[in-house]
Amino acid sequence: MVTYAAVLDVPRRVVQMLAKLLGARRRQIGTPKGSRALEPFRQAALVLRWFRDQSCVHCLARDAGISQATDYRYLHEGVDVLVGQAPDLHRVLAECREQGLNHLVLDGTLIECDRVAGTHPNAEGKAVDTWYSAKNKASGANVQFLAAPDGTPLWVSDAEPGSVPNITAARTHCLPALYKAAADGLPTLADSGYQGAGIGIHHPFKKPRGGSHLQLHPDTRTYNALLRGVRALGERAAAELKERWRALKHITLSPHRIGAITKAALVLNNTWR
């Protein structure tokens, strides 16, 4: 065995924020002082190592001198206290209107995970993998994002199984609130996967079916190009979270925790910013 020193490349204020939340959680549930293997600051560092470096759980446990079961418990506890600070959709929309933003960007991404057993019947009655995304050719969960025009992540939804398309996930988690925001002067820009989302959700138009010889009208092609150009920066939101918090690239915990983990990453990202 070879030991070496390492530095957690996360701003200290992020670790302190999480440690404060963990300390408050311990006081809330009445944890006796000194009864935990790790104090809140070290537990926060352990949780952030997992988010930042996509570290394996048994490696984190070994480095912290705790059991793997305790490591999982500390990790889930860290996720839970962060989720409690996640921004509410209606509050986010109200703040965006107060700040005078002229639009928001809606996008969806697949947070990949290990293959999970579970099937459901599709529209044709065939059994398909619930967590498998045919579009991305990978197992995972569908998470919807709202971003500011400059790409700042503002809100993330609960997770849906990977087989659920973006438009269906958006209808479940955010479209009703976005309709109201659009009526108040805050429209949403989306990609062509949201075609048919409704009034106030602007998206490019797809080529008509019937063969490659059919073309969109020049005005429609111009509209598509302008829309894609305006929303291009906003598409950075998912990439920013995945690159900064690398655990989101492939979740090894239960897929049912993906929504909570993504919301926790958003809270960490907001503190980092």
- pLDDT single digits (tens) 2-11: 776 778 888 9
Give the residue ranges of the chain where pLDDT is below 50.
Answer: none
Joined tokens for residue 89: 């959709």
Say what the pLDDT of residue 72 is.
93
Q: Please enumerate in sequence order all residues whose Cβ is within 8 A of that of 145, keeping only pairs 6 or more positions apart, or say none.
A: 106, 107, 108, 109, 153, 155, 156, 157, 237, 238
Say what the pLDDT of residue 74 is.
94
Pick the closest to residue 67 from 40, 44, 36 (CA basis).
36
All structural domains of the chain with their residue ranges:
12-83, 89-252
Say what the pLDDT of residue 88 is.
94
Report d(CA 229, CA 221) in Å as an integer.
12
Report d(CA 160, CA 50) in Å as an integer.
23
Say what the pLDDT of residue 213 is.
57
Say what the pLDDT of residue 264 is.
96
Say what the pLDDT of residue 132 is.
86
Report d(CA 173, CA 75) in Å as an integer.
26
Cα dihedral 102, 107, 111, 115 in deg (nearest 10): 160
Say what the pLDDT of residue 210 is.
64
Say what the pLDDT of residue 145 is.
93
**3-class DSSP state of 94:** helix
CA angle 140, 116, 76 (to 5 degrees): 70
